[in-house]
Amino acid sequence: MSKIISVHSFRGGTGKSNTSANLGALIAQQGKRVGIVDTDIQSPGIHVLFGLEQEQMKHSLNDYLWGNCDIEQAAHDVGAALGIQAPGKIYLIPSSIKAGEIARIIREGYDVGLLNDGFQRLLEELELDVLLIDTHPGVGEETLLSIAISDALIIVMRPDQQDYQGTGVTVEIGRKLNVPQMMLLVNKTPTQFDFAEVRARVEGTFGCEVVGVLPHSDEMMMLASRGVFVVEYPDHPIAKTYREVVLRLLR
């Protein structure tokens, strides 16, 4: 039985795409077939982490939404760059990074219903064990749809007052849509903070499990999205926390 996991944050800049990429890589390292869809069409970015250049993108999610290709034609096998070995596979379905195509999406919108068709087709055609949806920040129709069909929802937030308020909205929607597994991941936590206290405060505020509290990391900043952190720093405490998240997700 395949699993759909949405990775969401109410605000941008929380590390949502980094989280999607790291979880995807770790799941694929376990021999699973993973797809990652970048539905952050207005501000795509996850392709950078996988080293996928514009000229390598034969098709993107935009092409599928405009009827120019089947969605599996927009799936790029990015496993080799991460050293993923069979039977593990990791496919990225990127959003276009061409300025004109992003502008067209913003101007014209797109048929959100097609996304669901596409998700289901990806599960079948690529025989995926896990489909990760890297969502657009905030609460839009495509985000609601992703949450509605997900088996698990990971909400990424920083220990920041603005994130607290927005996260509350997402948690409320997740509850209303009865997402079977909902968890919070606190990211970019200043190392001076008491992590146990942060965890307790966030869990107390939202009544939702905190699956990990990740520190602000100089190594992550130095990597500067030039790779997937758990591949570059497999022994780092952040990688250990991501592994624990994966264990929870696949249990």
Residue 112 is a binding residue for another protein (CB under 8 A): yes
CA–CA distance, 216 with 214 (Å, rounded to integer) = 7
Residue 147 is a binding residue for another protein (CB under 8 A): yes
Q: Please report the DSSP string for 59-105 in residue order.
A: --HHHHHTTSS-GGGG-EE-HHHHT--TT-EEEEEPPP--HHHHHHH
- Least separation in angstroms between residue 105's CB and another protein is 8
Residue 145 is a binding residue for another protein (CB under 8 A): yes
CA–CA distance, 160 with 164 (Å, rounded to integer) = 6
**Judged by CB under 8 A, which of 161, 178, 191, 192 binds another protein?**
178
User: Between residues 114 and 250, which has the closer beta carbon with respect to another protein?
Assistant: 114
**Judged by CB under 8 A, which of 66, 110, 164, 233 binds another protein?**
110
**Judged by CB under 8 A, which of 13, 83, 113, 237 binds another protein?**
113
Q: What is the b/e burial string over 29-55, where b = at least 16 CB atoms within 10 angstroms of the residue's CB?
A: bbebbbbbbbbbbeebbbbbbbebeee
Residue 149 is a binding residue for another protein (CB under 8 A): yes
User: Between residues 30 and 120, which has the closer beta carbon with respect to another protein?
Assistant: 120
User: Between residues 149 and 198, which has the closer beta carbon with respect to another protein?
Assistant: 149
Residue 155 is a binding residue for another protein (CB under 8 A): no
Partners of 52 in beta bridges:
none
Q: What is the b/e burial string over 139-155, where b = at least 16 CB atoms within 10 angstroms of the residue's CB?
A: beebbebbbebbbbbbb
Residue 205 is a binding residue for another protein (CB under 8 A): no
Using CB under 8 A as the binding rule, the residues of this chain from 52 to 71 that contact another protein are none
* Dihedral (Cα; 160, 238, 181, 79), 10-degree rounding: 120
Q: Which residues contribute to the site for another protein (CB under 8 A)?
A: 4, 108-114, 116-117, 120, 139-142, 144-145, 147-149, 169, 172-173, 176-178
